[in-house]
Chain A
Amino acid sequence: MSKRESDEVTGVETTGHEWDGIRELDNPLPRWWLWVWYLSIAAAAVYWVLMPAWPGISGYTKGVLGQSDRVAVAGELAALKTVRGAQGAQLATASLEEIERDPQLLAYAQAVGQSVFGDNCATCHGTGGTGAKGYANLRDDVWLWGGKLEDIHHTIQVGIRSNHEAARQSQMPAFGRDQMLTASQISDLTEYVVALSRRPADRAAVARAAPIYQAQCIACHGPTGQGDQALGAPNLTDQEWLYGSSREDIHGQIWNGRGGVMPSWQSRFDPATLKALAVYIHSDAAGQ
């Protein structure tokens, strides 16, 4: 240790260390500071007794207060269930329209619906519900099987081409793959469908395809191509295309006649959840 020396002005001893010409006076710490330190140690000891503190080999000290975050969380979850019970029961008894008319119940149904949608429907329809090629967009105003609240509720319940006995069923024939039409006929039909949606098309091909459309397509898609929601037949005159709008996409759909599958959710969810889901999709969708 270096030699102790005193500061000239105050007469107090310095610590003897020097940093760039600065030396520190060796004044004693105030006694109260010591007491605060003792108190902190005492507080820690009290904490060990009251709260879980020390790990052991087969467990840990529980503390006399019996504090446990796991128990607290379980209690809070149980309390949440009781709180939700009342509104959940309301959801089960109210009709779909009643839910949409009551702003509080609507907000609750939307919240339930959104979380159920995120866990179950977003896989195909996307987290925003806008779908993708081959998966329906639930945010727009185009509905193959009807966009009314009751229609949506039913679709969710039974699914589309699912194994449910009342499932929504329809079949677009695979005109090319099953050799019902020739390649050139399908090319002409493609031009006809393009023309239906009011886009420029090869007039000669459209004229050639008119009788084929009358013979093959009119039963489902209607004479003017408006489709039929009862059959799940898409409207060919609008600007929404489940399998794409390019000539290649349309050609491919006529050739292969694809039809998607949606599972039935009736066995998976209780009636209140199904209602909430239907209300969530309907209230956030455009139109109808």
Chain B
Amino acid sequence: MTVVIDRTHSTPPDPKGSGPVSAAARARSSNKPPSGGLYKARAAIYPKLVHGRWRAIKWALMILMLGIYYVTPWIRWDRPGSLPDQAVLVDFTGRRFYFFDIQLWPQEVHFITGLLVMAALALFLVSALFGRLWCGYACPQTVWTDLFIYVERMFEGDRNARMRLDAAPWSFNKLWRKVGKHITWLAIGFSTGGAWIFYFHDAPTLLSDFWIGHGPMTGYLFAGLLTFTTYVFAGAMREQVCIYMCPWPRIQGAMLDSHSLQVTYRYDRGEPRGAHKKGSDWTGRGDCVDCKQCVTACPMGIDIRDGAQLECINCGLCIDACDEIMIKVGRPKALIAYDTDAAVEARAAGKPAVYKLVRSRTMFYAVALSIVSALMIWGLTHRSSLDLHVLHDRNPVFVRLHDGAVRNGYTLKIANRSFHDVEAIVAFEGAKGSILKTPGAKATGETITVSVPANGVEAVRVFVSLPSDSLTATNLPGAFIVRTPAETARVKTTFLSGAANPR
């Protein structure tokens, strides 16, 4: 048995052995590598505009997602004191992340991790159920590429016009269309990068600072970087980003099975394909009239009739293109549709198609997603605004005093995540007669008071002394308790006294 690994292209499945697919494979146009030569130039793709349900959903989602992206930094959110009034802000210099009523500190980065885990599981679940919906509708590469193709169409016309224009010699008409397109692309790229930096600074301040040259260097850098990447990725590279740069197409093979809904050419209905004359009989042939409208509509430049393949992003534009033709030739729609391999095979074998959304794989993803979501909600609703860390001095671990009492030093870090200053009362519990003192202070007592600023951390050194008659063991369990008017934090620690004997 010899298996062939293809570096650049997936191998289309061959459901019927030497059936129509391998015939189609031989006929593939855009996917077929030219023979000879070490390097392959990109074959230009001229996707044709289609109209239909999936195209409409894609337009709607594009507007929605671009809207979210551009508007979010401008949402204001009142916070007390000098805190930023921006609803969503990644404050690197202040090391805080603000998201509406949620404020995350660096040590709470596990919430970000949790969010990423949720996103990954959601992606797995959606992929197992419905194929690469993310790639086709929501991925930024898809959204911006779609927008760039729209711009291209505005300047250069639809598929045929664009092909003619590219083939035509340079003229004023060609020049202004090309220049206009690239200027608009750059403008979109710049507004993309420009919107990005608003997430990291106060947007209104940055907007005015940016234009008068007072913005932060990183702001200009990232605005430029994203202008460049948006222009190159969505303008010049397009499907090559998905095919060569993105790891997801390689991973998706492990996410999909024969019950995943994917954009599928129903070969059981379409084959054998061939040109069809109006009025002639449909018996003895399939519904596919080989008009290649599905190919011309595809932004990835593939032929869906070759079966599921690496390049397919499941966007459904070929479905719309095919449906238009099916209506024209008077055949039922959905020759290409979101369908499963299992259903197509069942129909081909003359059996009824069964759709299984509930499978062990989808159940696993759903349960895992629910658990992580529940943990996230629990974590966010149960986190306190008071945080205490206790570090025992290492050198010396304890000091013996003249009367046999022993003193231990600790560093306490009291974090106040609330929006107002608090007075925290620190006490030590676990042994009788403990006396607390902080460096520089003359006074000692059973508690000490520490002022912790709003949205800040106060580090304080605390010395705890225990009288000799309390020293019943070389290490005594104890705990620090920090009380604010609203909350209490308790952290266990150890009081060390060694043998507590004179040297």
**Please, which residue of chain B has its CB at the minimum distance from the CB of A132?**
B503
Interface status of B349 (Cβ within 8 A of chain A)? no
Instruction: List which A236-261 residues lie within 8 A (CB) of chain B.
Output: 238-241, 244-245
Check if B39 sits within 8 Å of A22, measured CB to CB.
Answer: no
What residues of B have a CB within 8 angstroms of the CB of A28 in the complex?
Answer: 33-34, 37-40
B interface secondary structure, majority? loop
Q: Complex: how many Å from CA A21 to CA B2?
A: 5
Given contacts A137-B399, A244-B503, contact A110 B7 (CB under 8 A): no
Stretch from B297-305, B321-329, B353-361, B401-409 at the A interface: B401-409
Check if B502 sits within 8 Å of A30, measured CB to CB.
Answer: no
Instruction: List which A214-255 residues lie within 8 A (CB) of chain B.
Output: 235, 238-241, 244-245
Check if A103 sits within 8 Å of B440, measured CB to CB.
Answer: yes
Give the distance to chain B from A238, nearest Cβ to Cβ, in Å: 4
Interface status of B212 (Cβ within 8 A of chain A)? no
Interface status of B244 (Cβ within 8 A of chain A)? yes
Given contacts A284-B439, A286-B407, contact A141 B33 (CB under 8 A): no
What residues of B have a CB within 8 angstroms of the CB of A128 in the complex?
Answer: 394-396
Check if B34 sits within 8 Å of A235, measured CB to CB.
Answer: no
Interface status of A62 (Cβ within 8 A of chain B)? no
**Please, which residue of chain B has its CB at the minimum distance from the CB of A139?**
B399
Instruction: List which A1-30 residues lie within 8 A (CB) of chain B.
Output: 7, 9-14, 18, 21-25, 27-30
Stretch from A31-39, A50-58, A84-92, A167-175 at the B interface: A31-39
Give the distance to chain A from B411, nearest Cβ to Cβ, in Å: 12
**Please, which residue of chain B has its CB at the minimum distance from the CB of A7?**
B4
Give the distance to chain A from B484, nearest Cβ to Cβ, in Å: 20
Check if B42 sits within 8 Å of A110, measured CB to CB.
Answer: no
Interface status of A208 (Cβ within 8 A of chain B)? no
Q: Which of B12, B39, B404 is in CB contact (< 8 Å) with A30?
A: B39
What residues of B have a CB within 8 angstroms of the CB of A235 in the complex?
Answer: 402
* Total contacts A-B at CB 8 Å: 130
Instruction: Encode A63-98 as 1/0 by CB contact (under 8 A) with B.
Output: 000000000000000000000000000000000000
Instruction: Encode B388-404 as 1/0 by CB contact (under 8 A) with A.
Output: 00000011100111111
Interface status of A287 (Cβ within 8 A of chain B)? yes
Interface status of A40 (Cβ within 8 A of chain B)? no
Give the distance to chain A from B312, nearest Cβ to Cβ, in Å: 17
What residues of B have a CB within 8 angstroms of the CB of A133 in the complex?
Answer: 503
Q: Complex: how many Å from CA A126 to CA B394?
A: 13
Check if A239 sits within 8 Å of B403, measured CB to CB.
Answer: yes
What residues of B have a CB within 8 angstroms of the CB of A32 in the complex?
Answer: 42, 237, 240, 244
Given contacts A283-B439, A284-B439, contact A140 B399 (CB under 8 A): yes
Q: In which size bucket is the chain A interface?
A: 35 or more
Instruction: List which B30-84 residues lie within 8 A (CB) of chain A.
Output: 32-35, 37-42
Instruction: List which B476-503 residues lie within 8 A (CB) of chain A.
Output: 502-503
Interface status of A182 (Cβ within 8 A of chain B)? no
Interface status of A129 (Cβ within 8 A of chain B)? yes
Instruction: List which B1-48 residues lie within 8 A (CB) of chain A.
Output: 1-9, 11-12, 14, 22, 25-26, 32-35, 37-42
Check if A12 sits within 8 Å of B39, measured CB to CB.
Answer: no
What residues of B have a CB within 8 angstroms of the CB of A100 in the complex?
Answer: 440
Interface status of B145 (Cβ within 8 A of chain A)? no
Q: Which of B3, B26, B463 is in CB contact (< 8 Å) with A286?
A: B463
**Please, which residue of chain A has its CB at the minimum distance from the CB of B393?**
A128
What residues of A have a CB within 8 angstroms of the CB of B437 in the complex?
Answer: 286
Give the distance to chain A from B257, nearest Cβ to Cβ, in Å: 22
Check if A23 sits within 8 Å of B2, measured CB to CB.
Answer: yes
Check if B39 sits within 8 Å of A139, measured CB to CB.
Answer: no
Given contacts A27-B33, A30-B240, A286-B463, contact A239 B400 (CB under 8 A): yes
Give the distance to chain A from B224, nearest Cβ to Cβ, in Å: 16
Check if A25 sits within 8 Å of B14, measured CB to CB.
Answer: no
What residues of B have a CB within 8 angstroms of the CB of A136 in the complex?
Answer: none
Identify 13 residue pairs between A and B in the complex whose beta-carbon atoms are under 8 Å apart, listed by A's number.
A23-B3, A25-B4, A27-B7, A30-B8, A30-B244, A31-B39, A32-B42, A128-B395, A128-B396, A139-B399, A140-B407, A142-B401, A287-B401
Residues of B at the A interface (CB closer than 8 Å) are 1-9, 11-12, 14, 22, 25-26, 32-35, 37-42, 237, 240, 244, 394-396, 399-404, 407, 409, 437, 439-440, 461, 463, 465, 502-503
